[in-house]
Structure 1
C-alpha cells in the first residue's frame, strides 16, 4: 500500500510517499523560515497561503521522485492537528479533495503521534516498549509507548515547551528568528559555569517540566551583565556564555527527567523526537545514558515533515482503522488518543 502524507501544521509544508513494503520512497519539504523572519515569528495568514501554493508542486515532485503516479496512491494521510487553524485547513482541504478525486480513503493523523513514531523511520529501529521524549517548538512530553496507539502520558511542560523557550531566549539575546538553532551553535563557544541558571522542577518528584522561569532568569542575567558594563551591549563572549548556561540548564532537566521516566517504567529504551531532538548537546547527553539504548530520528526528520505523517497514516491503514473526513483540530491534546 502506498500512502501520501501531507504536513501543514505550522510553517513547513511536507509531502511524502511511504510504501508499506518498500518503506519511505520520497520526501519533499519547503520551509517558510525566510518569509517569517522579517516579522520575527510565524504569521498565520501568510503560512496558510504559502501552504496552498506549495502543496501541488511538492506532491508532483514526490511522485516524480518515487516514479509513481496519482493512480498508485492507496490512501492520503494529513495532519489534522494540533497547529495553526488556517495552515491545517490548507493541508486538510488538499488531502480530502485529492482522496475524493482518487476514490481513496483519507486518514487524519495527530501531529505529535507523527513525531512520536518518526524514529521508526531510521536505520536503528527501536522495539516496543520505550519511553518517548517529545521535544518540539510547542510541546515537551514524556510518554510510555507500548505499541502503536498504546501511549501513556507520563509528564509534560506546564508552560513553555523546550523549543519555545529556546526561541524566546534567543530573541532576548538579539538573535534573528528562528533563534533556537543559532543559540545552540553559539553555546558551543560558551564557557561552562560562566553563568549559573536555575534548573526548574528538577526535584519536583514528578515528570512535569517548566521552562518559562528559566527564560526570565536569562533576562535577569542579561540585565545584570549590561549593568556591570555601564549599559553597553553584551559582548560576544558574554552572549555565548549565556547561551551555554541556558542550554546546559535545559539539557540537565530533560536528561534527569528522562532517567526518572526510565526508572519509573522499567524500560531500557529511550526515543527522542521533535525539533529539539536535533540539538547536539541533548543528543550527546541522552545518547550516553548508562544501560539505556537511545534512539533519534534522522536529522532531516526532526523538524515537521510529511514522512512522519505518511508513516503514521500507513500504520493506521494497516490496522484497518476507519477512514476519517474533512476536519481539523487546532487544539488537540495528545491525551485524546492516549489509552486510559
Structure 2
C-alpha cells in the first residue's frame, strides 16, 4: 500500500469565516479573541432583526387575509340575500320552511335567535357498560321519542320501543318487518310492534327533526362565520410556514462537536487528473447462476501440430542493359581502366612495378 501525506485537522469558524487548528488551545484562544466576540454579537443582532422583520411581514399578511375573508363573506351574504345561485336558493328555502325569514337574520342578535319553539327531547343518561347501538336503530328510537313528545309534551318518556313495524303489501296483506335486520314475518311479533299510523307520524317527526338540524347548522355557520374564517386562515398560515425558525447559537455550537478534517495543502501546479489517491482493489462478488450440472466424460482430441511454411527460394540474375541501335552502331564497345591517383602523403606505395 502506497504512503500518502495527510494534513493536520482544521476547523472552520462560521462567525469569522476562517480556518483554525482543531485542538482545544487553538479553539479557546480564537473564541476569546475580540474579533470573534464582535462577530458573534453581530450575528445575534442580525438574527433578531430578521425575526422582527419576519414577524412584521407575517402580521401584515394576516391583516390582508382577514380583509379578503371579510370581503368574501360580505359578498357571499349579499349573493344569498339576492337568491343569485342554487346554493342561496336552497338555504333560503330551508330557512323559510323552518319558520325563519332570511332577512331577519343578523350577526348582532344571533345568539338570541337560536332558540326554537320545539319541545326539547329529554335524553336518558348513557350506561357505559352497555354495548354501542347501531346508528339506524338509535335514530329510529329517537324519532319515536320525539313523536311522542310532540304529541303530548307532558307525557312521561316511553320505554325503549320495539323495532318491529306494521306494513302492507301491494295486495293489501299486512306483514311486519324489522327496521334493523330488514326481516319480514306474516305473524305479529310477541314483543310488540308499531302500527302503520304511528310509523307515518314517526317518519314525519324525523323529517322535521332533520330540517331543524339543517336550519340550526346553517344558522350556526352564519353566526360564527368570522370564527370559522379565522380558523381556516390559521390552518392555511400553518401550512405556509414551511421554513423553520433559525436555530440558536448554542444549538449550532452543540452540533459542532464532531469537526471535519480538511486538507489545506494546495499544490501550486495541480495536475489535470487531480491529486494522488490510494488504489484499493475490490474483489468481484461471485454470482451463482444456478445452472444445471451435467456429468460427462471428455473425448480425447489429438493436439493440432502446425508446420511452418517452407522458406521461398530466391534466384539472383544479372541485369543486362542494352544500348540503343544508334549508339551501338556509331561507337564500338570498349572498357576503360580506371586510374587511381595517390594524393595522400601517408599512403604506402609499391616498391616494384610487378
Question: Under a length normalisation based on structure 2, what TM-score does the superposition of the two structures give?
Answer: 0.20
Greater helix content: 1
Q: State which structure, 1 or 2, has the greater radius of gyration over its C-alpha atoms.
A: 2
Greater strand content: 1
Question: Under a length normalisation based on structure 1, what TM-score does the superposition of the two structures give?
Answer: 0.20
Bigger RCO of structures 1 and 2 (CA < 8 A, at least 6 apart): 1
